């Protein structure tokens, strides 16, 4: 359609705007008078709504361990910052010529070249492939919940048909995410697998789901700004923003405060793969393998239990899995928060809940046990847990922008306890809150959010900790 600009014709403008006129009201009813042919929409990848579930029972794998090639060094050494990163004056003034009006100098991918939406390096491919494994399990997990639990199960804990549809819609979101990442990777992209979840009732399922979406979200934040393909990073950012909302929805379903932190966590790929892989039972024989490490499991013996009125007063109330999923076994009605009447005690689904008794707190003793390396995990039992760390000495609390260490106490074999630290990100923001990560390490290595992978060589075991 050709545009017509009345401002180019002053005589017409004069006719359109007489010196004196009275507004004439015009009343009309809207009608549909224009139709259009729908535009062509890209197809989605083939998906299966609910696959079979259970542990792997097939033949021993012919290939074991993470994908590998020539290894140049046992770890990446730490170097001082690159000098140019300390040179920009940051005084609010412009210091470079503008490449175009209203455009500051600098930036990457801003020179007008056509974007290329494909991975550009081994780092890109392995990171996006990990993300695709995560999207596939989320697609299955959300459908699994709808297929496994009855309408009565949902309604008994305060979740309605509208909440169930929200869960269904989140599964549909995962179809889009899986399609996006598959197209970025190409024909060898990982496909759907068979999954093995812990035995769970609905409340435990919701807890497991909010933990799984936490490491899915945080695992992407950890590598997003390290990708060689910035175009890929842009698309991934737009999908992981949706994933963040899913994690918050599950917290609201669980009766937890929806966002008890000022900053979300980003963790290394090997941390996300460590927590994800044990729930993948089997994959097709020619499935693309991953390079990432599988750390031994860390079991939190007094993992805070969000199903309790006093969630910190617990002992061995998990399903025993890598995610330290809550267990309601043996939980009495008087101790359960789902039907509690008092504000601050009730944990039925809500937009927000604020607990009278915190799930955890500074000074809390946290009792830990960890597995030895060498356990087979993951698709077809074809990955093996490993660690290059020395003797365990510290607990590393990874939350928001912080990594805070506390010493392991009373170490006996593969068990110890530690004290939850009292630390803040900024004043007024307790750093250890929400669904966070807890690792056992052999040293207090100073790291920041951008180089957290430097921790990998000193990690003995890894877990999710339900701090709040």
| CA 197, chain centre distance (Å) | 18
Q: How confident is the model at residue 18 (pLDDT cuts 50, 70, 90)?
A: very low
Res. 70 pLDDT band, cuts 50 70 90: confident
CA separation for the pair 179, 44 (Å, rounded): 5
Nearest to 306, CA basis, from 324, 288, 280, 292: 324
**For 288, phi and psi rounded to 5 degrees?**
-65, 130
Express each pLDDT in 233-243 by its tens digit.
Answer: 999 999 999 99
pLDDT at position 28 is: 61
Arithmetic mean of pLDDT, 70-88: 84
Rounded (10°) angle between helices 230-253 and 202-223: 160
pLDDT of residue 14: 38
Strand order in 298-300's β-sheet? 298-300, 365-370, 415-419, 409-412
Residue 3 has pLDDT above 50, yes or no: no
- Label residue 22 by pLDDT band (50, 70, 90): low
Residue 172 CA to residue 13 CA, distance in Å, equals 52
Determine how many CB atoms are found less than 10 A away from the CB of residue 187. Answer: 6
* 3-class state of residue 407 by DSSP: strand
Pairing outcome for strands 298-300 and 459-466 = unpaired
Identify the pLDDT of residue 23: 53
The helix/strand/coil state of 153 is: helix
Quick check: 12 pLDDT over 60?
Answer: no
């Amino acid at each position: 359609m050709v545009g017509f600009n009345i401002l180019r014709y002053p005589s017409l403008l004069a006719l359109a705007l007489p010196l004196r006129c009275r507004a004439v009201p015009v009343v009309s009813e809207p009608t549909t008078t224009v139709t259009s042919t729908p535009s062509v929409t890209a197809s989605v990848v083939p998906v299966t709504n609910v696959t079979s579930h259970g542990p792997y029972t097939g033949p021993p794998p012919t290939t074991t361990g993470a994908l590998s090639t020539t290894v140049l060094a046992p770890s990446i050494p730490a170097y001082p910052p690159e000098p140019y990163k300390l040179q920009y004056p940051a005084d609010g003034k412009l210091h470079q010529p503008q490449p175009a009006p209203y455009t500051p100098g600098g930036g990457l991918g801003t020179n007008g070249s056509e974007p290329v939406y494909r991975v550009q390096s081994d780092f890109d491919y392995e990171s996006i492939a990990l993300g695709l494994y995560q999207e596939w399990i989320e697609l299955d997990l959300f459908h699994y919940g709808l297929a496994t639990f009855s309408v009565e199960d949902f309604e008994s804990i305060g979740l309605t048909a509208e909440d169930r549809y929200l869960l269904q819609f989140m599964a549909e979101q995962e179809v889009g995410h899986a399609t996006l990442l598959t197209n970025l990777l190409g024909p060898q992209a990982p496909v759907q697998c068979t999954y093995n979840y812990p035995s769970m009732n609905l409340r435990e399922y919701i807890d497991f789901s909010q933990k799984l979406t936490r490491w899915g979200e945080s695992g992407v934040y950890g590598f997003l700004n390290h990708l060689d393909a910035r175009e890929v990073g842009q698309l991934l950012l737009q999908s992981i923003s949706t994933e963040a909302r899913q994690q918050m929805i599950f917290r609201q379903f669980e009766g937890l405060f929806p966002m008890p932190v000022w900053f979300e966590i980003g963790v290394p790929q090997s941390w996300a793969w460590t927590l994800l892989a044990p729930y993948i039972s089997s994959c097709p024989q020619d499935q693309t393998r991953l390079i990432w490490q599988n750390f031994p499991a860390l079991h939190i013996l007094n993992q805070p239990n969000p199903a309790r009125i006093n969630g910190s007063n617990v002992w061995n109330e998990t399903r025993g899995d890598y995610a330290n999923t809550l267990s309601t076994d043996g939980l009495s009605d008087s101790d359960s928060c789902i039907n509690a009447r008092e504000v601050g005690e009730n944990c039925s689904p809500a937009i927000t809940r604020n607990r009278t008794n915190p799930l955890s707190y500074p000074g809390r003793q946290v009792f830990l046990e960890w597995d030895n390396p060498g356990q087979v995990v993951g698709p077809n039992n074809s990955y093996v847990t490993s660690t290059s760390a020395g003797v365990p000495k510290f607990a590393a609390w990874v939350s928001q922008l912080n990594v805070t260490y506390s010493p392991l106490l009373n170490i006996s074999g593969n068990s110890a306890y530690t004290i939850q630290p009292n630390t803040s990100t900024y004043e007024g923001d307790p750093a250890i809150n929400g669904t966070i990560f807890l690792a056992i390490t052999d040293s207090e290595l100073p790291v920041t959010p951008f180089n957290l992978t430097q921790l990998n060589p000193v990690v003995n075991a890894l877990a999710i900790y339900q701090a709040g």
